[in-house]
Amino acid sequence: MRIGVMIAAGTLMCAGLMASAAGPKAAHADLVNAQGTKVGTAKISSTANGVKVSVRVSQLTPGEHGIHIHNVGKCEAPAFTTAGGHFNPTSAHHGVKNAQEPHPHLGDLENLKVGQNGKANATFTVSGATLGDGQNSLFHEGGTALVIHAKADDLMSDPSGNSGERIACGVIEK
């Protein structure tokens, strides 16, 4: 009986090691505004073709806001410029409406629609991105951040969609 338990434990341990080598199955980000107040959260999970980003925010101005994955896992207020440019490991163009190919880059997300109450819930799928190892990993050296902008993304202007100032930021963490 003990041998069976040891084999089962060894199998579970090996499965755990393989899962950690492939990367985490989930990640998160706490979004803060320029004053350092938490205004939302994001849950990121692996999918068969990429990652799913589920965002829940409050205390934002009503309307559409650009939201992107940025290339550096650093969110220093008030301007959040430390998050760098958009996550773009494949050197693609910005925006699904951009006439140049290839597009969109992996940092592109659809606009976040904030209601009159200042709240929004949205889910985005980022095909090709991963939480595991490799070029398209959100956990590459230096990490990544999720950034919300003041204005809507026009979905075509390279490199950032004319979405204005960065008003909230959260480092994507395991």
Structure tokens at 62: 């009503």
**Per-residue burial over 147-173, b = 16 or more CB atoms within 10 Å of its CB, e = otherwise:** bbbebbbbbbeeebbebeebbbbbbbb
Cα(67)–Cα(163) distance, rounded to whole angstroms? Answer: 9
The DSSP code for 174 is -
Alpha helices, DSSP H, located in the chain: 2-22
What's the whole-model pTM score?
0.85
Residue 138 DSSP label: T
> How far apart (Å, rounded) are the C-alpha atoms in residues 172 and 174?
7
**Mean pLDDT for the stretch of residues 128-139:** 94
What's the rounded Cα separation, in Å, for the pair 154 and 43? Answer: 25
What tens digit of pLDDT does each residue of 97-118 get? 877 777 788 899 999 999 999 9
pLDDT confidence of residue 151:
96
pLDDT tens, residue by residue, 66-99: 999 999 999 999 999 999 999 999 888 888 887 7
Query: Rounded to whole angstroms, how far apart are CA atoms 145 and 74?
Result: 7
Largest pairwise CA distance in the chain: 65
Q: Which class is 24-171 in CATH?
A: mainly beta
Which pLDDT score is estimated for 22?
61
What pLDDT does 104 receive? 81
* pLDDT surpasses 80 at 135: yes
Tokens of residue 135, six digits: 């070029």
Domain ranges of the chain: 24-171
